[in-house]
Structure 1
Amino acid sequence: MATLPNPLPRLASLGLALPPGRLIDETDEGPWHEPLLWLADERAIPGTWSALRRTAPSAGLLPVVLDLGGGHGGPEKWELAPDEMSYPGDHDADEVLEELWEEYTEEGDEWPGLAEPLTPTADPDERATEIADSLADGGVVTDPHIALVPARRSADIPAAIGWMGPAHHESDTARLCAVLRSWEDRFGIRLVALGFDSLLVSVAAPPATLEEAEEVAAEHFVFCPDDIGDLETYAQKLIDRPTWHFWWD
């Protein structure tokens, strides 16, 4: 994956107010040649995300909540393969989704195309902060820890660390990151949390009607077919929803 210079080796000199934590340079194949991320030792608390979101991007880093629960441990034990990732900007979201649509739907079902951009009901970064703070109380993320990843946009975070959560669905996570980039532009999403095989985004421009939700649901179905079920029922749940959660088998 094409990347910008990694600021993590200089983390101590960047002047960021960080809680106790450690640099992670382990992958599924063993040590990586540079740190992939910084991970806080203690469980996330409200306010940490907001503080880092104000300071870390200027250093080329973005916060994300990692879920260390579910029996999978920390990212040192996850399947990380940064050398197998392409660059998200090399892929077109519409083309990626159309290819997956043809793979996961019956022959003759025509790809409906990308859903239209929707009107934001909140500032995307403020919505992300609100959602990140709420994860400290548990719920869908059982053991949240703040991390910092070298990335310029939240959509690129999974590929930047070589995250292989959707490997049984799509082995090159950068292709799905291209879809996340498109969702950033059309729906104001921000990647807020990653688990071993799950992903959570905040949504500043969710669908407001069933028609809009059905268009978005078609994209979700081919992005993560393992966790959708009945498409019409799923679409109804998307109306005005401030988060989208995906889980791959």
Structure 2
Amino acid sequence: ETEDERLVYESAMNWIHYDLNKRHCYLPELLQTVRLALLPAIYLMENVATEELITKQRKSKEIVEEAIRCKLKILQNDGVVTSLCARPRKTGHALFLLGGQTFMCDKLYLVDQKAKEIIPKADIPSPRKEFSACAIGCKVYITGGRGSENGVSKDVWVYDTLHEEWSKAAPMLVARFGHGSAELKHCLYVVGGHTAATGCLPASPSVSLKQVEQYDPVTNKWTMVAPLREGVSNAAVVSAKL
């Protein structure tokens, strides 16, 4: 089960390349199992449409071209798209518990709703509190928070729920805690929060931040986007429309 079609596409291509001479003929059949129109637009155009194996096979090229047409209809909100390449998969969902406000914490738990159990998972590499967490596909991103001695962090840690391991992503542009985060069009947005106040005790928060940052998991880069009209902290942020 997956919500990230890049994993499906890359798995199919890895299988083909493992024995290219014998397996290249299966490429069109495999591409039809990938929800190509659900891939990020940039990834579809720059990685899939330019793949040499695909451009050399007429049938494979036609499949990708159809996916691009579907993607454009989706982006332009141009009617209902019924093609299989744009149909979301039926996936299972998981609930993770992590973090807190009073004490620094490095614990991560999975709530198994079928077994009615709470299962410990791999500890967060760097204990912290007042961070924000957001899921994109099969990965959980935790951003910022307060670390040792209440220092405010820019760090971003990523938990891969498939491989059950942590890795570090590019740090945010602004250190913050008490902020919100949400996913929109396969990108992560962090909103508001507090940062350390110059000349004050480390535990003293600054005024609420207006800054909003966008993170692209494909490029591993942060970008500052339009700020809020007023600073907020400990605010709820909901995906779909920010």
Normalised TM-score (structure 2)? 0.28
- Structure with higher helix content: 1
- Structure with higher strand content: 2
Larger Rg: 2
Normalised TM-score (structure 1)? 0.27
Query: Higher relative contact order by CA 8 Å / sep ≥ 6: 1 or 2?
Result: 1
